[in-house]
Amino acid sequence: MPEWLEAGLWGLLAGAALLIGAVAGYFARVPRRVIASVMAFGAGVLLSAVSFELIAEAHEQAGLAPVAIGAAAGALAYTGANILLARRGARHRKRSGDEQPSEQEQPGSGNAIAVGALLDGVPESVVIGASLLAGGAVSLVTVIAVFLSNVPEGLSSAAGMRQAGRTRRYVFLLWATIALVSGASALAGYTLLGGAPPGVLATITAVAAGAILAMITDTMVPEAFEDAHLLVGLITVLGFLTAFALSHT
């Protein structure tokens, strides 16, 4: 199989977890504490993948300065975009309760939520494609981490969308589109970065890592803490250790 096609398929697989979670969140009345616990676990998995699969490897390739600058730039870019989207109704796009505004309460919030979902998913998918360039094989730990974190993201967000009165067609079309965009982003990460010097590849990986870290703390951790409360730390550590174990097997 051509590597460019493999990159796209791995990205599509990771993105499909969003749709799986959305179906569960829309049709099943999953208790909010369960959603929060799964979200905490997914956050821990992503934190581990960012630490050991992205930041650590980028540091080995390029050193501290490019990694620090890249991660800070990624976090800054994500935060700036997230602030703009929050003002348009996407602040609570991953919340499973009644925090999300309806279209009647805030016109245009549906589009803001859709763009926010893209903002959350693209950096993860780009690094999946780029991981093929680094070692000739996709980072399975990164794919698994993104998949495991995407399930609760889709689950929580779809439950909140249902509460806000958004239609089944809107919810499933949104997450199906995000899954396809995830595949396209992984493909872009492979094709656009092919031939890039190791230092450039490492810096771009760090940019994506910084954006992912900002996303975890801005959108995943608040949902997890809202209902898991005192258990959120323990569950997050379990997710972290699970991904750490996968990266060392």
- Give per-residue pLDDT as tens, 126-165: 888 888 876 666 778 889 888 988 888 888 888 888 888 8
pLDDT in tens, 29-49: 888 888 888 888 989 999 998
How many Cα neighbours within 13 Å face the side chain of 219?
Answer: 33
Mean pLDDT of 227-236: 83
Asked whether residue 213 carries a pLDDT value surpassing 90, the answer given is yes
CA dist., res. 63 & res. 56, Å (int): 10
Contact 4, 195 (CB under 8 A): no
* CA triple 123-128-130, angle to 5 deg: 90
Asked whether residue 92 carries a pLDDT value surpassing 80, the answer given is no
* CA triple 43-170-112, angle to 5 deg: 60
- Residue 78 is predicted with a pLDDT of 93
- Residue 247 is predicted with a pLDDT of 81
pLDDT in tens, 122-132: 888 988 888 88
Contact 202, 49 (CB under 8 A): no
Cβ contacts of residue 71 below 8 Å, gap of 6+?
A: 55, 206, 207, 209, 210, 213
Asked whether residue 1 carries a pLDDT value surpassing 80, the answer given is no
- Is-above-0.75 flag for pTM? yes
Amino acid making up residue 166: R
